[in-house]
Amino acid sequence: MTFAALFPGQGSQAVGMLSDLAASCPQVGETFTEASEALGYDLWSLVQQGPDKRLQETERTQPAMLAAGVAVWRCWSANQGADPEIAAGHSLGEYSALAAFGAIDFSDAVRIVAARGRFMQEAVPEGEGGIAAVLGLKDEEVVSLCAEVCDDSDPGQVFAVNFNAPRQVAIAGDIEALERAMESMRCAGAKKIVRLPMSVPVHCPLMAPAAQRLEGLLAAIDLRPPRLSVLHNADLLSHRKGGEIRTALVDQLTLPVQWSRCIASMGERGVKTAIEFGPGRVLAGLARRIDRDLQVLAVHDTPSLEQALQTIQSRG
């Protein structure tokens, strides 16, 4: 059966995640042991025991979510789960997809995303940047209002950075510009605006210093063709050459995540079912809003794993 694999990014993490699945699937423990060896500290202990404040640190959140996504995928494979036809990951989740399907060694991916998180935080100091979700405005309205804020005489920049679903866009930038943009969007009729608990204005030009440092690290990493198509956030293409994959990963830090178009593209390719591998159900919820004809399952514990296996196997 044709289906797509989706991997969540930063934001779905929580202390205690995957504890149920770990009890029945040894691949979870094995994956986190491998990640811990690459990092030099006990990542599974952090994920299970916290403290939450430490888990929420970007340079620790990113390897935790990468390991979680790959661990769930390995559980699926160990239970004779079929390969998808196509895959994608939201932001950080793009690394999970590439690691799951052989484009990058898992241990290399763990070290890269830990450094990526550190580079992101250092590019814009704590408290100077922010990100917010805007609900109820069209994509082009959000883009236009951000441009107006950047064109005024006040300092700072703000950008549309995540096109997550119809009328659901994230904006990010310098804190003062972000607040001005939020007010402009309230006045324009946004139904809801929520400041997100993340101070890094990712996926916009403010991440250029981080992107430059990331490019240097990726240059030393072996990147191979994935064994199936992995759509990239920045250009919606599936790359086969290591240099092209590297460029897409670097560009991802400074260009917006085109998630709505990514899911729509899968539908155009004939995908009728998508499975989210990793903690939470964020991508499953977004996918349903993007394509109402798409059946979406989320695998994050033993019951959801069994249900998804039965669904795919029953449809052959």
> Would you name the residues annotated as active-site residues?
91, 203
Which two tokens mark 212?
A: 């430059």
Amino acid identity of 144? S
Q: Is 270 left (phi over 0), alpha (psi -120 to 50) or beta?
A: left
Nearest to 213 by CA among 292, 131, 118, 99: 118
Cβ-contact 3, 85 below 8 angstroms: yes
* 197 prior amide bond cis, ω within 30: no
Nearest to 87 by CA among 246, 265, 207, 250: 265
DSSP state of 84: P
Q: How many residues does the chain have?
A: 316
* 209 half-sphere exposure, CB direction, 13 A CA radius: 12
Query: For residues 218 and 220, what is the distance between their CA atoms, to the nearest angstrom?
Result: 5
Cβ-contact 180, 149 below 8 angstroms: yes
CA 275 to chain centroid, in Å, comes to 14
Question: How many CB atoms lie under 10 A from the CB of residue 197?
Answer: 9
